[in-house]
Amino acid sequence: MNDKLLVAKTLAAVLDGALSESEITKLLETPKKSEMGDIAFPAFTLAKSLRKAPNLIASDLAEKISSDAFEKVVATGPYVNFFLDKSNTVATVLTTILKDGAAYGTQPQNGENIAIDMSSPNIAKPFSIGHLRSTVIGDSLAKIYQKIGYNPVKINHLGDWGKQFGMLIVAYKKYGSEAAIRENPIAELLKLYVRINKEAKVDPTIDVAARDWFLKLENGDDEALTLWQWFRDESLVEFDRIYTELGVEFDSMNGEAFYNDKMDEIVDILAEKDLLTESNGATVVELEGFEIPALIKKSDGATLYITRDLAAALYRKRTYKFEKALYVVGNEQSGHFKQLKAVLKKMGYDWADDIFHVPFGLVTKDGKKLSTREGNVILLEPTLKEAVKRAQTQIDAKNPDLANKTAVAHAVGVGAIKFYDLKNERLNGYDFNLEEMVSFEGETGPYVQYAHARIQSILRKADFSPEKADLSALSLLDDESWEIIKLLQAFDATVARAARTFEPSVIAKYSINLAQAFNKYYAHTRILDENDEKNARLALAYATGVVLKESLRLLGVDAPEEM
């Protein structure tokens, strides 16, 4: 039994129904200092119902608990602190990981789909660092949810429709070159887009022309559609190349244009339910608690993002029958998704409660916001190449005779960028610093990868295999071993928390803590020395390697066997 479940079960028995096991489990904490215990229960929650001071409640509970499953149970102020039986916990954790391997912590498939709207770069614009966050957060969440039993459906809702295409068509017709675009598609389209937006700031007729061209596009004008299809096809070639570099795949590439023929149904449903009103020539849905209504159609008849997203939500519910639908989209769109859910609720769709916006903060450079429109971007493809190059340089210096250096450098360089993004809590954002990302020191992906590779080297030297592991003389009761065991035991709870909070950073930080704990142990312990503890030490190293590799996998990062 998981030790937290054991603690919850023990407390529930003495609380006589005041809290359920699941309620207790959610309240359990890990003390900041190991000498204070392994698991702590805060008694504050019971103060109101029991009409007693939390420290007195904690003292009473500690006296009532008598279980051979714990080394001791003590009250420390308002907390009940549990000291686990180390021998039993060490044996259980190591035996389980030796048996399960990479499947450790995996939950049975529950058959439920979880739709994840992610990445969604704009056609005819380069794939920049700004698009990285949605891509790697969404990909990691898919892996995390699969680990706990869901079937993820990864959807790349491409930005392949909208007024920006009207703007791009105006730019191309005004000063574009077909030959230049065919030779270097995305770079040339970006130049056109930046140039036309600068001109539009001083020439209002450009904005009018862009709106006219987009309306032509929506109405099926041959020239507009031909140019749009060309821009789209050229963009997908570059996007596919970058997704291959990142190791990210999708179940659906249906972008905004896919819903062109599905929006009329939305408007019809809204009309049938008498939810549409007119406001200044536009068609809207009034929403309580919102300063502005949901704009369904503009006065010129053009549709908006929300109309398209309503159609997409309904299509996805019908197609995938999702248990949850996640939208991994920047924090600046939070108002949009609140409106989306509110309109769906007014339409009578209770499953709107199963839709979650997973927002994230911005990536900046030298503290400045990045903008494609302003021409201030960090392009992802050359950045990945530079990261791989830097990784290669460090590998050449540390291990010049390493086999498969090119593949390892790719895993380290690309993994470094992904890990750095994911270790930051979603809403915080971060300032882009490639040198810091690819460092083998500090809280980085290469640091965790190197800890894993070091473990594999130890296991190779010992010719260790989990099938032959002998744990009959198991001890490992020293403090440094115990810190690793507690972290290993917490892996499934860590994955569950990452899923519950839509926060891959939980796993990234966990992997850093585990790598640091092992490196501390390695610095003070001669793992390969022949004595009674050798098998146990190797089993501990193996288990740590398994969980480090699986943690990195859940972040979409490879774990090389050698570095």
Angle at 440 between CA 437 and CA 443, to 5 degrees: 60
Query: Any idea what the CATH number is for the domain that residue 472 is in?
Result: 1.10.730.10
pLDDT tens, 38-58?
A: 999 999 989 988 899 999 999
Residue 204 lies in a domain: no
Residue 64 lies in a domain: yes
Residue scoring higher pLDDT (274 or 368): 274
Question: Residue 444 pLDDT > 90, yes or no?
Answer: yes
> Where is average pLDDT lowest: 150-154, 460-464, 525-529?
525-529
pLDDT tens, 285-343?
A: 999 999 999 999 888 776 788 999 999 999 999 999 999 999 999 999 999 999 999 99
Residue 541 lies in a domain: yes
Place 355 in a pLDDT band, splitting at 50, 70 and 90: very high
Residue 79 lies in a domain: yes
**% of the chain with per-residue pLDDT over 70:** 98
Residue 174 lies in a domain: no
Q: What is the mean pLDDT of the chain?
A: 92
Quick one: average pLDDT of 344-371? 93
Of 172-176, 523-527, 556-560, the range with the highest mean pLDDT is 556-560
pLDDT attached to residue 366 = 84
Question: Residue 372 pLDDT > 80, yes or no?
Answer: no
Residue 46 lies in a domain: yes
Residue scoring higher pLDDT (191 or 422): 422
Place 474 in a pLDDT band, splitting at 50, 70 and 90: low
pLDDT attached to residue 472 = 64
Domain finish residue from 64, 84, 104: 84
Nearest Cα to Cα of residue 507 among 59, 52, 140, 103: 140
Domain finish residue from 39, 65, 84: 84
Distances (CA, A) of 27 to 23, 40, 360, 486: 7, 9, 27, 18
Residue 416 lies in a domain: yes
Nearest Cα to Cα of residue 415 among 453, 362, 377, 364: 453
pLDDT attached to residue 276 = 95
Quick one: average pLDDT of 6-16? 91
Question: Residue 223 pLDDT > 90, yes or no?
Answer: yes
pLDDT attached to residue 302 = 67
Beta-sheet strands, E only, within 222-320: 276-279, 282-285, 294-297
Place 370 in a pLDDT band, splitting at 50, 70 and 90: confident
Angle at 133 between CA 129 and CA 136, to 5 degrees: 115
The torsion angles phi and psi of 296, rounded to 5 degrees, stand at -90, -45
Domain finish residue from 58, 84, 110: 84
At 277 the three-state DSSP class reads strand
Question: Residue 1 pLDDT > 60, yes or no?
Answer: no
Place 34 in a pLDDT band, splitting at 50, 70 and 90: confident
Question: Residue 412 pLDDT > 70, yes or no?
Answer: yes
> Where is average pLDDT lowest: 59-63, 181-185, 411-415, 508-512?
181-185
pLDDT tens, 100-112?
A: 999 999 999 998 9
Residue 360 lies in a domain: no
Query: Any idea what the CATH number is for the domain that residue 38 is in?
Result: 3.30.1360.70
Overall number of domains in the chain: 2
**Sheet with 70-76: strands ordered across:** 39-42, 79-84, 70-76
pLDDT attached to residue 473 = 59
Residue scoring higher pLDDT (512 or 110): 512
Residue 63 sits in which domain range?
A: 3-84
Residues 554 and 146: beta-carbon distance below 8 Å? no
